[in-house]
Amino acid sequence: MYIFLRKPYKNFSAIPNMEEKRIAIRAIVPPQESDIEEDLEWLCRSLDLSTTKDTENSAYRVFKALFTSSISGRPKTISEISRDLNLTRGAVLFHIRKFYNCGLVERAPGGRYKLRGMSLEETIDEIMRDAEKMMERIKKIAADIDQAMGFKKRW
């Protein structure tokens, strides 16, 4: 399931002319036991943030670094994450773009990045609200089309 949310973004120089969010949701069975590492990996896979080509598991590692730094109240720059994880700056930027596109992260002062909400749960709630707003718009337009085409509801 893919949901595209068109919304103009400001102040994100690393991604010029960003105009839409892309949220992909994959139905993946969650881990049997509660384990932070496995749960975070599952979240990344469920939101289609990591791929089978990611042999270094860099998407998960970048996400975990952003999550950890956000929770501690010390968001990091792309260069800091790159250095800490021993990844290229380009690889980190690639993943941050993907996280930004789906609404997981936002830019913080000083060229830093952090979770969009105050917690991971709040961040997911924000994404859900975005999706609900877009689906309401789609539903409204669908109703307008139905009416214009003369479709009558049976209830």
Asked whether residue 13 is assigned to any structural domain, the reply reads yes
Q: What is the mean pLDDT of the chain?
A: 84
Which tens digit of pLDDT belongs to each residue from 47-64? 888 877 877 889 999 999
Full residue range of the structural domain in which residue 99 is found: 2-148
Q: Exposure string (b/e) for 36-54, b if CB count within 10 Å is 16 or more?
A: eeeebbbbbebbbbbeeee
Asked whether residue 154 is assigned to any structural domain, the reply reads no
Asked whether residue 153 is assigned to any structural domain, the reply reads no
Assess contact for 150 and 21: CB atoms under 8 A.
Answer: no
- Write out the chain's pLDDT in tens, 155 residues: 555 444 444 444 444 444 466 778 888 899 999 998 899 889 888 888 887 787 788 999 999 999 999 989 999 999 999 999 999 999 999 999 989 988 899 999 999 999 998 899 999 999 889 888 888 999 999 999 999 999 887 66
DSSP E strands, the chain: 2-6, 20-24, 76-77, 105-108, 112-115
Question: What's 135's domain CATH number?
Answer: 1.10.10.10
Domain total for the chain? 1
Q: For position 103, what pLDDT does the model report?
A: 86
Which tens digit of pLDDT belongs to each residue from 124-144? 999 889 888 888 999 999 999
Asked whether residue 155 is assigned to any structural domain, the reply reads no
